[in-house]
């Protein structure tokens, strides 16, 4: 009988033993080491490697509660969802996700390709590194995994079966609370507002009745829109990257939802990267280099998504009525509207809410952080309230620049 015949949350020593017993990738007498490497809010992530051959694997385990807070009781079925999604994404967007080797439903864990030669994109952006292939890679990933899982492409019965298979209520509830609800009223008292900005947030966010109404509308759009099989947590902390490679990870929040939820998250997190560079870079040439790249990437992400979407539409759409003149433009306009809205929602929740981002929290100078947060929150309000106005990348960038102008010294 194996100790792994019954679920428990593993430590590094357990993971090392697990790799020997359950995986067939190491020699019987291999000298293995294991370490916990994850610092996320939800799961436990370990690396196991052969100290002589340097062969390695990542083992990711889901616990019964989120690491960020025991208040979030979660189904460990999320590992099954993540494993299935990674396999599907690798079919739809080959080379842009890690390879999965094994899924274990007893231990609620999966073994996958080690991407230690990559870095987490958020970490790299905090060092103000740039990645010229990112816009191309991420837009290919989003178009292929999103459009190709919609009703306009898939057989409707097959799509409905996927909707059923990827119902993800516990993690969706986290999104519903942390993204769509709490940043607008803090009803659970879990928000984490930077104290020097508390009065400003109280007046300009909690006190903005129009903003609260639009957030309410968007929450119910999110609850009802089973448009595509979305990643559900597609930000720079869910991307491994190097100069010639991009790998999207952590699709455990995946379910059938609005395409704009993924695209908007990418835009928002690029804006966070911009805000960090703006607040911390003092060398003018370095500042111009980095901020220029981020600004260019924001525009490219939106515009390349649209152009690739049009091409993929022509090549893949099967639904008869979706071929009616004007329908594609209407459909894409809706995605861009949702992209703008989610850009704003993500910016608000990462500045005000429980799960924040290091792009903002590591700004050491309090005055600079106050300014960065107000730039983000002011732009966020515009994205949400005027979401019907966005049809290209330049419009997204202009909203950021207009917000910056309001807080220029």
pLDDT of residue 265: 98
Determine contact, residues 124/131, Cβ cutoff 8 Å: yes
Q: Each residue of 100-145: pLDDT tens digit?
A: 999 999 999 999 999 999 999 999 999 999 999 999 999 999 999 9
pLDDT of residue 409: 65
Burial of 117 (0-12, 13-18, 19+ CB in 10 A): exposed
Domains (range + CATH), the chain: 3-112 (3.30.200.20), 119-406 (3.90.1200.10)
Helices (H) and strands (E) in the chain, counts: 14, 12
The confidence band for 188, taking pLDDT boundaries of 50, 70 and 90, is confident
Determine contact, residues 225/244, Cβ cutoff 8 Å: no
Helix axes 393-406, 259-280, angle to 10 degrees: 40
pLDDT of residue 20: 93
Q: Each residue of 2-59: pLDDT tens digit?
A: 999 999 999 999 999 999 999 999 988 899 999 998 766 678 899 999 999 989 999 9
Q: Each residue of 250-279: pLDDT tens digit?
A: 998 999 999 999 999 999 999 999 999 999
**Per-residue tokens: 319:** 């639904």
Residue 404 confidence (pLDDT) above 70: yes
User: In whole angstroms, how far apart are CA 45 and each of 41, 111, 114, 214, 264?
Assistant: 11, 10, 11, 37, 27
- How does 371-401 read in b/e, with b if 16+ C-beta sit within 10 Å? bbbbbbbbbbbbbbbbbeebbebeebbebbe
With the C-alpha atoms ordered 394, 397, 403, 409, is the resulting torsion angle positive or negative? Answer: negative
> For residue 352, how many other CB atoms are within 10 A of its CB?
25
Helix axes 366-385, 209-224, angle to 10 degrees: 60
The confidence band for 381, taking pLDDT boundaries of 50, 70 and 90, is very high
Determine contact, residues 103/83, Cβ cutoff 8 Å: yes
| SS3 call for 287 | helix
Q: What is the pTM of this model?
A: 0.92
pLDDT of residue 285: 98
pLDDT of residue 91: 97
Helix residue spans in 249-392 (DSSP H):
259-280, 284-316, 327-352, 358-361, 366-385
């Amino acid at each position: 009988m194996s100790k792994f015949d019954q679920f428990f949350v593993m430590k590094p020593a357990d993971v090392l033993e697990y790799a020997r017993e359950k995986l067939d990738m190491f020699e019987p007498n291999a000298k293995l080491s294991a370490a916990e490497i994850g610092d996320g809010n939800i799961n436990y992530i370990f690396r196991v490697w052969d100290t002589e051959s340097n062969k390695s694997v990542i083992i990711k385990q889901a616990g019964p509660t989120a690491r960020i807070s025991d208040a979030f009781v979660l189904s460990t079925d999320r590992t099954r969802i993540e494993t299935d999604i990674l396999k599907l994404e690798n079919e739809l967007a080959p080379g842009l996700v890690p390879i999965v080797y094994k899924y274990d439903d007893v231990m609620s864990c999966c073994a996958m390709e080690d991407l230690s030669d990559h870095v987490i994109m958020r970490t790299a952006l905090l060092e103000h590194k740039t990645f010229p292939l990112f816009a191309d890679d991420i837009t290919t990933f989003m178009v292929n995994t999103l459009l190709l899982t919609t009703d306009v492409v898939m057989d409707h019965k097959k799509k409905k079966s996927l909707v059923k298979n990827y119902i993800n209520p516990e993690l969706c509830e986290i999104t519903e609370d942390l993204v769509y609800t709490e940043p607008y009223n803090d009803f659970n008292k879990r928000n984490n507002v930077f104290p020097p900005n508390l009065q400003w947030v109280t007046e300009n966010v909690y006190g903005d009745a129009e903003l609260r109404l639009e957030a309410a509308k968007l929450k119910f759009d999110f609850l009802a829109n089973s448009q595509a099989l979305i990643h559900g947590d597609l930000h720079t902390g869910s991307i491994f990257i190097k100069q010639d490679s991009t790998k999207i990870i952590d699709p455990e929040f995946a379910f059938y939802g609005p395409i704009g939820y993924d695209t908007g998250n990418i835009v928002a997190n690029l804006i966070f990267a911009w805000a960090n560079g703006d607040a911390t870079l003092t060398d003018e040439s370095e500042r111009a280099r980095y901020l220029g790249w981020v600004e260019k990437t924001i525009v490219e992400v939106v515009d390349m998504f649209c152009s690739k979407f049009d091409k993929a539409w022509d090549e893949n759409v099967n639904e008869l009525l979706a071929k009616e003149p004007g329908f594609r433009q209407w459909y894409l306009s809706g995605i861009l509207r949702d992209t703008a809205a989610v850009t704003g929602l993500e910016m608000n929740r990462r500045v005000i809410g429980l799960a924040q981002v290091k792009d903002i929290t590591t700004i050491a100078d309090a005055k600079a952080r106050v300014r960065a947060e107000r730039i983000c929150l002011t732009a966020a309000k515009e994205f949400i309230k005027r979401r019907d106005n966005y049809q290209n990348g330049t419009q997204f960038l202009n909203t950021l620049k207009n917000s910056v102008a309001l807080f220029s010294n």
